[in-house]
Amino acid sequence: MVEAMPESGFLFAWIWLLALLPLPLLVRFLLPRVEGSGMRALRVPWYAQVSGGRGEAVRMPWLHALAWLIWALVVVAAARPQWVGEEQSLPITGRDLLLAVDISGSMDTQDMNLGSQQVNRLEVVKEVAGDFIEGRRGDRVGLILFGSRAYLQTPLTFDTQTTAILLDEAEIGLAGRETAIGDAIGLAVKRLRDDAANERVLILLTDGANTAGQVEPLQATEFAAREDLTIYTVGVGADEMLVRDFFGQRTVNPSADLDEDTLRAIAERTGGAYFRARDTEALTEIYARLDELEPVESDQESVRPVDELFFWPVAAAFLLGLLAALFNLLPAFAGSKPRDVSARAQGARP
């Protein structure tokens, strides 16, 4: 639990309850003594065997002190002891940001470099977009993955680190081998429709054209425009790639299927922008540009984490109560001695 607090350290949330500590003394000395009733004891025929023939309970003065300690622990627990931590700053923002990432089969094309290693498109997206997500401290960030179908991988959350981890765990083909751009936009509209955020943003990244799904991209874009959802589209993939075939090496365009016209129309209709990422450096620059277009809020609220400690005195009172009950019963059991049944039978003979 996190609450705004004036100071750090140990305190009681309901300190006025500590005034109940002397309550047993007040009850004992202020209330009239209860007169004994006509029936002073319960007759138990076999009690003499259990108690070893003693008719009085063994008195232990220290049990009274233990009872007082148990009462004090109960009152302290009721007063809600707490530990208030150091002041922390929490960024405030009114923005909800969804990332829709294409994980269709074409994202497995190895036409991009990460460092000195040639990798597929999704690996580059994981690296660059993951850093972008973790840098959005203060925004609620969510993740949509889409192929032949679109599904919500991470709901809107301030936990940007977990969102980045789930993006890194995405696998190509998990949602099918085709591309449902319209369904991804439609799912984003559905998830953001009832949110009260001042700004709602979708960043859609794909390397192809809409080849699957129930909703056409431009139709879904109209829904997004009505809901004031800003969409930034990113087309990823190199323009040239060397491939080997039976005749040797030749240059091909691995991004021939990229529907830039549709992506550009989606962005323009919703007030966003279209970007083209042909390599890792370009994709990094695009996300840096998105940070400028949709900056993270700098306003902050000071809060202090609060840990409840009432369970410690409650547990101590419970254990001490068990201890008191145990020592109160021990004298009775220790004083009982088994008798010789045969000797008792002989003594009964005339």
For position 347, what pLDDT does the model report? Answer: 47
For position 91, what pLDDT does the model report? Answer: 56
In a domain, 206, yes or no: yes
For position 99, what pLDDT does the model report? Answer: 94
For position 60, what pLDDT does the model report? Answer: 56
For position 45, what pLDDT does the model report? Answer: 54
Domain hosting residue 74, numbered range = 2-33+44-86+306-347
In a domain, 39, yes or no: no
Let me know whether 194 and 283 are in one domain: yes
Q: Is 251 helix (H, G, I), strand (E, B) or coil?
A: strand
Q: Which tokens go with 20? A: 């109940």
For position 89, what pLDDT does the model report? Answer: 63
The residues of the chain scoring below 70 in pLDDT are 1-7, 34-61, 88-94, 196-198, 245-248, 296-303, 328-350
| CA torsion through residues 225, 227, 232, 235, sign | negative
In a domain, 56, yes or no: yes
For position 341, what pLDDT does the model report? Answer: 42
How many domains does the chain contain in total? 2
Say which residues have a Cβ less than 8 Å from residue 125's Cβ, sequence separation at least 6: 101, 107, 205, 236, 283
- Nearest CA to 204 among 158, 159, 150? 150
Task: Go through 252-282 and write b for each residue having 16 or more CB atoms within 10 A of its CB, e for each that does not.
Answer: eebbeebbeebbbbbbeebebbbbbbbbbeb
Give the burial class of 16: count Cβ atoms within 10 A of its Cβ; 0-12 exposed, 13-18 middle, 19 or more buried: exposed
Let me know whether 310 and 293 are in one domain: no
Phi, psi of 24, rounded to the nearest 5 degrees: -60, -40
In a domain, 224, yes or no: yes
Let me know whether 223 and 124 are in one domain: yes
Let me know whether 205 and 289 are in one domain: yes
Hey, how many other C-beta atoms are within 10 angstroms of the C-beta on 104?
26
Please give the Cα distance from 274 to 14 (Å, whole number): 57
